[in-house]
């Protein structure tokens, strides 16, 4: 079969023959359309290696849709390379000789193709980078690691910014980024609209049902359907459903997803970015993180599309600024923290919490309506928007005292956009405050009243968000007060916690004891302790 007509999963084979001069390995989250791994290579003498390995779907318990997204996006990328004339050694998950690991496949490919060198773009996580460091000796050839041009902030630049400061504050980083990259900055060096952020206009809740939301999903093609069947067969007991797979899996679809967001949701993104509503999993969010994290979309083009919507009058500044901050600020800041804080970052447990993850995180089966809704949606789509992650599934884990590694592994496995560099600092740092305050200067703990204010989840829930003890007490509210009681001496010197702690100090000792015993009973009920 001619490589030009490659178009289905059956065209993807490991059968490239050697010898090969440079073998360029492309990992599943390196599907950058500019193909940095192939720069200056010659399709006549060099070849591409792509591998589907079981290790990546099992090193944490993974949602089947997450595994499927990686595999189908890789297959589409490989087919496109073949259509462009590249020789691609593609090892499928069900290839009988597949060793199941990156290292095993790199070794095998170098040997079989008699490659002179191996090269790849810098892996995005410590775990993979550690393995790659062994490859020169394991494979017996030089291994070149190329810079990843995807991000707006080179790691060196982040280092320089970070080392000049005693504390890493995202808002300071964001202002530095806006100025450095000349985004929404006037000629006088001041921010557009005279303010750096529009949070006061951007924290609205819906009073009644949200307006209809238009949100494009992508029907699986033959390649994706092959993958969905393969993943269903190979991981029958893994969590998550495959039926509602609708993620963009190619560059073209990712561009269409970006246009869809800018046209239909960006104008309303800002005001309602913190709102939640039953039966509305996506609201006005962009749903672009999976495509961006696979590198099918570049952050700069996403930001430019939003800036263009502002310039053309399609969207207003509070929405555009709110969106730009997520990409230019949070996304780049989180990555900077991941690389500059090093391998040991994942082991932090500053609050010394050791609770087990309740079984309902895997099933959504709980009477707590907010958790049942947020987790149910993750099982169905592999997606939750930021406030669901931070203030529902995250807030519960923080205040109930779950071990940070147990919850961060859950986030890493269960979301289609999850890759360690972004999941870990968000979970361990922002949600669990386990890094002692590197990502967030205070823990994002809240009672059920916050969830009631920002959603309609509490309507009809069997618990009452205003009550902190008794049979009807909302577990979020109980755990919130228990969290403050348990950690009050730890947070005593944190000025941002002062107001919350005055309420605890005013409690009678008997009130504190009641809260503690109610929280302990709930922990036993949920299988946390």
422 binds ligand FAD (CB under 6 A): yes
Residues in the chain: 529
Would you call the peptide bond into 349 cis, given omega within 30 degrees of 0 as the criterion? no
Among ligand SF4, ligand FAD, none, the one that 306 touches (CB under a kind-dependent 5 to 8 A) is: none
Cα 529 from Cα 284, distance rounded (Å): 38
Name the minimum Å distance from CB 94 to ligand SF4.
Answer: 42
Name the minimum Å distance from CB 377 to ligand SF4.
Answer: 14
Name the minimum Å distance from CB 21 to ligand SF4.
Answer: 59
Among ligand SF4, ligand FAD, none, the one that 286 touches (CB under a kind-dependent 5 to 8 A) is: ligand FAD
Name the minimum Å distance from CB 450 to ligand SF4.
Answer: 8
Among ligand FAD, ligand SF4, none, the one that 451 touches (CB under a kind-dependent 5 to 8 A) is: ligand SF4
Among ligand FAD, ligand SF4, none, the one that 434 touches (CB under a kind-dependent 5 to 8 A) is: none
Among ligand SF4, ligand FAD, none, the one that 438 touches (CB under a kind-dependent 5 to 8 A) is: none
Query: Of 281, 394, 404, 429, which lies in the binding site for ligand FAD, with binding defined by CB under 6 A?
Result: 394
Residue 425, CA distances (Å) to 258, 334, 344, 397, 433 in order: 26, 6, 12, 15, 10
Cα 291 from Cα 287, distance rounded (Å): 8
430 binds ligand FAD (CB under 6 A): yes
Tell me the two tokens of residue 358. Answer: 């309740």
Could you count the other beta carbons within 10 Å of the beta carbon of residue 508?
8
Region class of 194: left (phi > 0), else alpha (psi between -120 and 50), else beta = left
Cα 494 from Cα 492, distance rounded (Å): 6
Task: Encode 374-385: b = buried (16+ Cβ within 10 Å), e = exposed.
Answer: bbebbbebbbbb
Size of the site for ligand FAD (CB under 6 A): 27
Query: Of 247, 272, 411, 491, which lies in the binding site for ligand FAD, with binding defined by CB under 6 A?
Result: 411
Sign, CA torsion 268/272/273/278:
negative
224 binds ligand FAD (CB under 6 A): no
Among ligand SF4, ligand FAD, none, the one that 345 touches (CB under a kind-dependent 5 to 8 A) is: none
**Residue among 50 and 378 whose Cβ is closer to ligand FAD:** 378
- Give the position of tokens 């991000």: 151
**Residue among 320 and 368 whose Cβ is closer to ligand SF4:** 368
Among ligand SF4, ligand FAD, none, the one that 62 touches (CB under a kind-dependent 5 to 8 A) is: none
Q: Are strands 88-91 and 47-51 parallel, antiparallel or unpaired?
A: parallel
Residue 221, CA distances (Å) to 8, 256, 414 in order: 10, 16, 23
423 binds ligand FAD (CB under 6 A): yes
Cα 356 versus chain centre, distance:
22
289 binds ligand FAD (CB under 6 A): yes
- Give the position of tokens 């669901």: 388
427 binds ligand FAD (CB under 6 A): yes
Cα 516 from Cα 518, distance rounded (Å): 6
Query: Of 417, 447, 483, 487, which lies in the binding site for ligand FAD, with binding defined by CB under 6 A?
Result: 417
Query: Of 138, 217, 386, 467, which lies in the binding site for ligand FAD, with binding defined by CB under 6 A?
Result: 386
385 binds ligand FAD (CB under 6 A): yes
Could you count the other beta carbons within 10 Å of the beta carbon of residue 330?
19
Query: Of 23, 334, 458, 484, which lies in the binding site for ligand FAD, with binding defined by CB under 6 A?
Result: 334
102 binds ligand FAD (CB under 6 A): no
**Residue among 390 and 454 whose Cβ is closer to ligand FAD:** 390
- Which run of H or of E encompasses 25? strand 22-25
Q: Of the candidates 219, 24, 26, 255, which has an alpha carbon nearest to the alpha carbon of residue 141?
A: 24
Residues that bind ligand SF4 (CB under 6 A): 368-370, 448, 451-452, 457-458, 461, 463, 465, 474-476
**Residue among 319 and 395 whose Cβ is closer to ligand SF4:** 395
Could you count the other beta carbons within 10 Å of the beta carbon of residue 317?
17
Name the minimum Å distance from CB 464 to ligand SF4.
Answer: 6
- Which residues of this protein are in contact with ligand FAD, per CB under 6 A? 285-289, 292-293, 326-327, 330-331, 334, 385-386, 389-390, 394, 411, 415, 417-418, 422-423, 426-427, 430-431
């Amino acid at each position: 079969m001619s490589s030009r007509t490659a178009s289905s999963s059956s065209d993807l084979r490991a059968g490239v023959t050697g010898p090969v001069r440079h073998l360029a390995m492309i990992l599943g989250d390196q599907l950058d359309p500019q193909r940095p791994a192939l720069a200056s290579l010659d399709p006549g003498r060099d070849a591409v290696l792509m591998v589907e390995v079981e290790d990546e779907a099992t090193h944490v318990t993974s949602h089947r849709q997450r595994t499927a997204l990686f595999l189908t996006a890789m297959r589409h990328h490989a087919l496109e390379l073949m259509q462009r004339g590249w020789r691609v050694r593609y090892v499928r998950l069900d290839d009988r000789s597949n060793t199941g690991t990156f290292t095993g496949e790199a070794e095998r490919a170098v040997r079989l193709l008699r490659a002179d060198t191996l090269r790849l773009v810098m892996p995005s996580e410590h775990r993979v980078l550690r393995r790659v460091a062994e490859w020169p000796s394991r494979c017996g050839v030089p291994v070149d690691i190329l810079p990843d041009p995807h991000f707006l902030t080179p790691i060196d630049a982040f280092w320089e910014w970070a080392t000049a400061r005693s504390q890493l504050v995202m808002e300071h980083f964001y202002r530095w980024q806006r100025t450095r990259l000349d985004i929404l900055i006037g000629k006088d060096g001041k921010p557009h609209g005279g303010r750096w952020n529009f949070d006061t206009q951007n924290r609205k809740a819906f009073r009644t049902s949200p307006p209809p939301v238009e949100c494009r999903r992508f029907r699986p093609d033959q390649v994706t359907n092959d993958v969905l069947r393969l993943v269903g067969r190979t991981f029958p007991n893994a969590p998550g459903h495959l039926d509602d797979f609708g993620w963009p899996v190619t560059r073209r679809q990712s561009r269409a997803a970006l246009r869809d967001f800018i046209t239909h949701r960006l104008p309303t993104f800002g005001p309602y970015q913190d709102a939640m509503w039953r039966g509305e999993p996506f609201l006005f969010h962009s749903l672009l993180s999976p495509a961006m994290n696979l590198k099918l979309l570049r952050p700069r083009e996403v930001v430019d599309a939003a800036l263009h919507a502002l310039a053309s009058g399609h969207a207003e500044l509070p929405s555009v600024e709110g969106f730009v901050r997520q990409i230019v600020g949070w996304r780049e800041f989180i990555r900077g923290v991941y690389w500059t804080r090093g391998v040991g970052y994942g082991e932090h447990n500053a609050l010394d919490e050791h609770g087990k993850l309740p079984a309902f995180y895997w099933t959504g089966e709980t009477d707590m309506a907010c958790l049942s809704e947020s987790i149910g949606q993750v099982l169905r789509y592999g997606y939750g928007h930021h406030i669901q992650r931070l203030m529902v599934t995250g807030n519960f884990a923080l205040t109930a005292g779950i071990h940070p590694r147990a919850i961060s592994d859950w986030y890493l496995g269960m979301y289609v956009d999850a890759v360690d560099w972004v999941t870990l600092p968000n979970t361990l740092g922002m949600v669990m405050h386990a890094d002692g305050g590197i990502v967030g200067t205070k823990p994002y703990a809240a009672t059920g009243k916050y969830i009631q204010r920002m959603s309609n989840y509490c309507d009809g829930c069997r618990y009452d968000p205003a009550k902190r003890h008794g049979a009807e007490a909302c577990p979020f509210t109980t755990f919130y007060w228990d969290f403050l009681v348990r950690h009050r001496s730890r947070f005593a010197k944190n000025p941002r916690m002062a107001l919350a702690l005055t309420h605890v100090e005013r409690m009678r000792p008997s009130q504190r004891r009641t809260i503690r015993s109610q929280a302990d009973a709930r922990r036993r009920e949920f299988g946390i302790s």
